[in-house]
Amino acid sequence: MLAIFNLTAKAFKPAANIQAKHFYVFRQHEERTVGKVIVVQKYGGSSVANTDKILSVAKRVKKAAENAKVVVVVSAMGDTTDDLLTMAKALCKYPNGREMDKLLATGEQASSALLTMALHELGQPAISLTGGQAGIITENKPGNARIQSVDPQHIKEELNGGNVVVIAGFQGITDNVTWADITTLGRGGSDTTAVALAAALSADKCEIYTDVDGVFTADPRLVPAARKLSSISYEEMLEMADLGASVMHSRAVELAEIHGVNITVAHSVREVPGTMITREDQNMEVKNSVRGIAHDTDVAKITVTSVPDQPGIAYKIFHALAKNGISVDVIVQNISLEGVVDLSFTVNLSDLARAQAVLAPVIKEIGARNITSSSNLAKVSIVGTAISSRPGYADKMFGALADAGINIASITTSEIRITCLIDKANVQKAVQALHAAFELEKA
């Protein structure tokens, strides 16, 4: 394999075992790609949901190709991935990971081939590539494989030959000597494909086209006054994404941060400026450093009652959860009474049953009384760079919730967010109250 870029390193460095001959081949290509800028565009499932939509994407891509070398990454059409999953589960209770990956990867292969045909019909030279053909090598972890390296050679050759290169998102292949298995990158993984390719190609632009206009100060469905942000930092975006603003795959944002890829998120049809996700927000020093209000209703609270107040107990509980891939948040331990404490934390609602199963033997082992849970809670958060280093934000947040008559069950903070656990029924009221209190409707 030629010129391999290691995507886990801070900067791109060719792998040590590449021979001099291969360097030479690669450098020639570097020279030949000078000229037009390279643009990576990604279109999500809703933007290619039917042939009419694929045709409008093709027109947009053709226009971009007038002034740039264009690489397009596509998701599967509409709900294709969900439909394939449903069929698999109808036939087999626990589908084999390898077969599942092979199945799910077909969705993106279909959309990439169809978009390429539409481009041909418009007179635009184009070729589609699978993830493997595009040089994307992943670890062998079915359903949630991480990208290990990208060899962009093949893409560069096609770009230099005048083609728009349309790549099936969300997939790669394993680095297997006998044969390569198809892998998928986890739900929503086409964003990650786009960012990885933008990094490997040193693309001038990475544009994520979707069905929203960009990243907003709050969910516009809850807050009509929500405003589109012109830019947001990687860290802020990660917090917003983790807290339910599902504009982009978190792994893609992390990858973009590591490699310094600037991302623009914009609407796939409306030609309005989107939101730039970048290293740091140019407006960081303005007086309102709260950038947005995030909320998450996919929350369950677990309380382990009467836990002995001894060293190593918290470790046993959280280690068991971590070992099973269950992430926890908003951890609260109450004051020790007669040598026992109650320990509460939140997990994703979808992980609740599994968390309870994992904890049952641990509870016995440590001699705690029992586990209780509640699923009628939600998180609301204020997000913004340097929140923790400036006084007054927590104060204002709790005041706004109090004025709205909303009770806070528990609180956590990080460098750039403050999160309150509240009743699910109060989410909209809380998000609106916070949006108004921090005057986020004003630019």
Contacts to ligand ASP by CB under 6 A = 45, 75-76, 81, 107, 169-170, 187-190
Q: Which is nearer to ligand ASP, 67 or 350 (CB)?
A: 350
Q: Which is nearer to ligand ASP, 107 or 131 (CB)?
A: 107
- Region near Mg ion per CB under 5 A, out of 74-82, 147-155, 157-165, 333-341: 74-82
Query: Quick check: 238 and 292 in contact, CB under 8 A?
Result: no
**Total interface residues for Mg ion by CB under 5 A:** 2
Provide DSSP, 59-99. HHHHHHTTTEEEEEEEPPSTTHHHHHHHHHHHH-SS--HHH
Question: Cα 8–68–74 angle (5° rounding)?
Answer: 55
- Region near Mg ion per CB under 5 A, out of 38-46, 239-247, 317-325, 431-439: 38-46
Closest CB 155 distance from ligand ASP, rounded Å: 19
Q: Which is nearer to ligand ASP, 170 or 393 (CB)?
A: 170
Q: Does 45 bind Mg ion (CB under 5 A)?
A: yes
How far is 247 from 229, CA to CA, in rounded Å? 13
Closest CB 76 distance from ligand ASP, rounded Å: 4
How far is 248 from 255, CA to CA, in rounded Å? 12
Q: Which is nearer to ligand ASP, 81 or 217 (CB)?
A: 81
With 0-12 / 13-18 / 19 or more C-beta atoms within 10 angstroms meaning exposed / middle / buried, residue 286 is exposed
Output the CA torsion sign for 185, 186, 187, 192. Answer: negative
How far is 397 from 381, CA to CA, in rounded Å? 9
How far is 94 from 439, CA to CA, in rounded Å? 49
Closest CB 203 distance from ligand ASP, rounded Å: 19
210 binds, among Mg ion, ligand ASP, none (CB under 5 to 8 A by kind): none
- Region near Mg ion per CB under 5 A, out of 44-52, 157-165, 178-186, 407-415: 44-52
Give residue 35's Cα distance to chain centre. 32
- What residues have CB less than 8 Å from 426, skipping those under 6 apart? 378, 404, 406
Closest CB 190 distance from ligand ASP, rounded Å: 3
Closest CB 413 distance from ligand ASP, rounded Å: 31
Q: Which is nearer to ligand ASP, 131 or 152 (CB)?
A: 131
Q: Which is nearer to ligand ASP, 73 or 382 (CB)?
A: 73
Q: Which is nearer to Mg ion, 201 or 263 (CB)?
A: 263
SS3 (DSSP) at 298: strand
Query: Quick check: 285 and 382 in contact, CB under 8 A?
Result: no
Cβ neighbour number for residue 124 with a 10 Å cutoff:
20
169 binds, among Mg ion, ligand ASP, none (CB under 5 to 8 A by kind): ligand ASP
Provide DSSP, 131-143. TTTTTEEE-S-TT
Closest CB 108 distance from ligand ASP, rounded Å: 6
Tokens of 341: 């404490």
Q: Which is nearer to ligand ASP, 49 or 290 (CB)?
A: 49
- Region near Mg ion per CB under 5 A, out of 21-29, 40-48, 141-149, 265-273: 40-48
Q: Which is nearer to ligand ASP, 136 or 304 (CB)?
A: 136
Question: For Mg ion, which residue has the nearest CB?
Answer: 45
- What residues have CB less than 8 Å from 136, skipping those under 6 apart? 147, 150, 171, 172, 173, 193, 196, 197
Closest CB 194 distance from ligand ASP, rounded Å: 9
Closest CB 29 distance from Mg ion, rounded Å: 32
Question: Where in 314-373 is the site for Mg ion (CB under 5 A)?
Answer: none
124 binds, among Mg ion, ligand ASP, none (CB under 5 to 8 A by kind): none
Q: Which is nearer to Mg ion, 43 or 438 (CB)?
A: 43
Closest CB 260 distance from ligand ASP, rounded Å: 22
Strands 164-168 and 275-278, by their bridges, are: unpaired
Q: DSSP 3-state helix, strand, coil percentages of the chain (rounded to 5)?
A: 35, 25, 35
Query: Which of 33, 47, 75, 184 is close enough to bind Mg ion by CB under 5 A?
Result: 75
Closest CB 291 distance from ligand ASP, rounded Å: 25
Q: Given the rule CB under 5 A, which residues bind Mg ion?
A: 45, 75
